[in-house]
Amino acid sequence: MSWGTELWDQFDSLDKHTQWGIDFLERYAKFVKERIEIEQNYAKQLRNLVKKYCPKRSSKDEEPRFTSCIAFFNILNELNDYAGQREVVAEEMAHRVYGELMRYAHDLKTERKMHLQEGRKAQQYLDMCWKQMDNSKKKFERECREAEKAQQSYERLDNDTNATKADVEKAKQQLNLRTHMADENKNEYAAQLQNFNGEQHKHFYVVIPQIYKQLQEMDERRTVKLSECYRGFADSERKVIPIISKCLEGMILAAKSVDERRDSQMVVDSFKSGFEPPGDFPFEDYSQHIYRTISDGTISASKQESGKMDAKTTVGKAKGKLWLFGKKPKGPALEDFSHLPPEQRRKKLQQRIDELNRELQKESDQKDALNKMKDVYEKNPQMGDPGSLQPKLAETMNNIDRLRMEIHKNEAWLSEVEGKTGGRGDRRHSSDINHLVTQGRESPEGSYTDDANQEVRGPPQQHGHHSEFDDEFEDDDPLPAIGHCKAIYPFDGHNEGTLAMKEGEVLYIIEEDKGDGWTRARRQNGEEGYVPTSYIDVTLEKNSKGS
């Protein structure tokens, strides 16, 4: 089934259909965008809920460490991880579905516009051929009528006895002229007719089928792209199902960890006074006027008072030990950075190792330079005394040995940290950024710390460009051009990383729009930067669209 053969006369219908296809694609993209916003708002509300119900460490009335409380806090942690997975779903949909749809819709519009322009040009050319053929036909018809009139005039004069010979001869010459012109127009009409028939056959059997075939392929690719996006939409959700299942399993395990017997025993341990219940009151027989001595009562009262004192002390001590987390006093900074969280400790150790390696390289270069200078002095004593360099060489060698020992020691600490961090839960690959909720922060030793600077934090999401990537771009060769664009509107490019352009300026495209509304471009002089995608008309090379 081909549009070129079946729909050869439906150019306007195909125009409307392809436009409808692009509109439908953009409508689905809008649906995905709204779904992403729902996921982001849902994750944000979950995180706010977790933050609201986490224990406030600044509060004095802390809840004791009952198993039901610990289970609830664990559920809050799992819920925080679940919120992180909802953010992963939103990010995956934004990158894999929405961004891809917007880029493809832009390419689709450009391709459709090109094919329709080719079809209109072909139709205009056929109309021009038809007009030429029609003009030659009318001219031939007009000359034939003129020739008939000249023949009738000649025959009338030839049969008229009163006509002079000169008039007859003149009429005959006029007849011959008109007949000759009619023959020439006849040949012209025949040639134009033959040319039009050939162009018409080529138009309806070669040109139009080819254009319609390209439109058909474009529309089918749009349908396939929608199918892929539908699948990606579902895969974004399906990928996080195992991790979400683990979060739910964690909640179930937290629920199973609730031990009512242990909680009851903790209540006993918290409020038990340690005294025996009071005994029966003795019967006092007033009838015999015998009064009891008050010594027993005094002793009992003193015992009760001391019992109350001990009970208060016991409860106070119990309360001091039954908080959910114990506070760790802040200590001085240690050499191995063990007072820091693992990730910050790893970074500090890595920075120190890099600094030590730079110092070691500097000392090694200095040693090589001193050895070369010493060789020169030995070969040319007039230039200097080789022995004068020996103290400096010894000092350099000592520095090298010291730096190597320091590097070895720090690398051992780094290996220890990486071994610990590598064994952490693999299932939280995205929610690690917000893994620690506000219920408490734990130091590497597992104790709580009030220092917010020691809290483990993930890197923030950045839309800008990191300096490390800038260094990589400076060292590597320039990116190859994958297309070109023409500026529809001028852009001043005041912000850092942007590229100013004038209206109508042509630039090379070296990186497509990733869904954030910016395209990376380069001038012919090598200047690169980002320009707004809506300000340019992009044309990509066919073999580079997938890159």
Same domain, 488 and 417: no
Q: How far is CA 59 from CA 62, 77, 110, 323, 449, in A?
A: 6, 20, 62, 12, 15
Half-sphere exposure of 469 (CA within 13 A, CB side): 6
Q: Answer yes or no: is 233 within a domain.
A: yes
Same domain, 19 and 156: yes
Same domain, 389 and 527: no
Same domain, 47 and 177: yes
Count of CB atoms within 10 A of residue 339's CB? 19
Residues near 512 by beta carbon (within 8 Å), at least 6 away in sequence: 103, 482, 519, 538, 540
Q: E-strand spans in 314-422? A: none
Nearest 5°: phi and psi at 168?
-65, -40
Q: Answer yes or no: is 272 within a domain.
A: no
Q: Answer yes or no: is 225 within a domain.
A: yes
pLDDT at 55: 78
Check if the beta carbon of residue 33 is closer than 8 Å to that of residue 239: no
Same domain, 39 and 185: yes
Same domain, 132 and 229: yes
Count of CB atoms within 10 A of residue 533's CB? 19
Give the C-alpha separation, 359 to 347, whole Å. 18
Q: Answer yes or no: is 471 within a domain.
A: no
Structural domain ending residue among the three candidates 263, 297, 321: 263
Give the C-alpha separation, 394 to 387, whole Å. 11
pLDDT tens-digit profile of 26-61? 999 999 999 999 999 999 999 999 999 887 765 544
The one-digit pLDDT tens for each residue of the chain (547 residues) are: 778 778 888 888 888 999 999 999 999 999 999 999 999 999 999 999 999 988 776 554 455 578 988 899 999 999 999 999 999 999 999 998 999 999 999 999 999 999 899 888 988 998 999 998 899 899 888 889 888 888 888 888 888 878 788 888 888 888 889 888 888 988 998 998 999 899 888 888 888 888 888 898 999 999 999 999 999 999 999 999 999 999 999 999 999 999 999 988 888 777 765 557 788 888 777 776 654 544 444 444 444 444 444 444 433 443 333 333 334 444 556 777 777 666 667 778 888 899 999 999 999 998 898 888 888 888 888 878 888 888 888 899 999 988 998 898 888 888 887 776 554 444 334 333 333 333 333 333 333 333 433 333 333 333 334 434 344 444 445 678 889 999 998 988 877 888 999 999 999 999 888 877 889 999 888 889 989 998 999 888 765 443 3
Give the C-alpha separation, 514 to 517, whole Å. 7
pLDDT at 332: 59
Count of CB atoms within 10 A of residue 337's CB? 21
Give the C-alpha separation, 355 to 403, whole Å. 10
Residue 528 one-letter amino acid: E
**Burial class of 439 by CB neighbour count within 10 A (0 to 12, 13 to 18, 19+):** buried
Q: What CATH number should be reported for the domain holding residue 102?
A: 1.20.1270.60
Q: 28 is in which domain, residue-wise?
A: 3-55+63-263
Give the C-alpha separation, 15 to 22, whole Å. 11
Same domain, 256 and 356: no
Q: Answer yes or no: is 411 within a domain.
A: yes
For residue 410, give both structure tokens.
Answer: 């720090």
Give the C-alpha separation, 335 to 158, whole Å. 132
483-487: strand order across its sheet:
528-532, 518-522, 506-511, 483-487, 536-540
Give the C-alpha separation, 143 to 400, whole Å. 109
Name residue, tokens 């000359």.
143
Q: Answer yes or no: is 123 within a domain.
A: yes
Residue 320: its H or E element: helix 295-321
Same domain, 492 and 412: no
Q: What CATH number should be reported for the domain holding residue 530?
A: 2.30.30.40
Same domain, 43 and 152: yes
Same domain, 205 and 72: yes
DSSP characters for 120-184? HHHHHHHHHHHHHHHHHHHHHHHHHHHHHHHHHHHHHHHH-TTS-HHHHHHHHHHHHHHHHHHHH
Measured N-to-C along each axis, helices 99-159 and 208-239 cross at an angle, to the nearest 10 degrees, of 170
Check if the beta carbon of residue 108 is closer than 8 Å to that of residue 217: no
Give the C-alpha separation, 508 to 538, whole Å. 9
Structural domain ending residue among the three candidates 375, 400, 421: 421
pLDDT at 223: 93
**Burial class of 147 by CB neighbour count within 10 A (0 to 12, 13 to 18, 19+):** buried
Check if the beta carbon of residue 275 is closer than 8 Å to that of residue 307: yes
Q: Answer yes or no: is 531 within a domain.
A: yes
pLDDT tens-digit profile of 262-309? 988 888 777 765 557 788 888 777 776 654 544 444 444 444 444 444
Nearest 5°: phi and psi at 265?
-65, -35
pLDDT at 273: 59
Q: Answer yes or no: is 474 within a domain.
A: no
For residue 90, give both structure tokens.
Answer: 């939103």
pLDDT at 514: 83
Name residue, tokens 């009952």.
66
**Burial class of 12 by CB neighbour count within 10 A (0 to 12, 13 to 18, 19+):** exposed
Give the C-alpha separation, 173 to 147, whole Å. 11
Same domain, 35 and 126: yes
Same domain, 408 and 496: no
Residue 320 one-letter amino acid: G
Count of CB atoms within 10 A of residue 239's CB? 14
Check if the beta carbon of residue 436 is closer than 8 Å to that of residue 406: no
The pTM (predicted TM-score) of the whole model is 0.44
Beta-bridge partner residues of 506: 486
Q: Closest Cα partner for 143 from 110, 180, 90?
A: 180
Domains contained in the chain, number: 3
Give the C-alpha separation, 531 to 521, whole Å. 7
Q: How far is CA 121 from CA 31, 126, 138, in A?
A: 37, 9, 26
Structural domain ending residue among the three candidates 263, 290, 320: 263
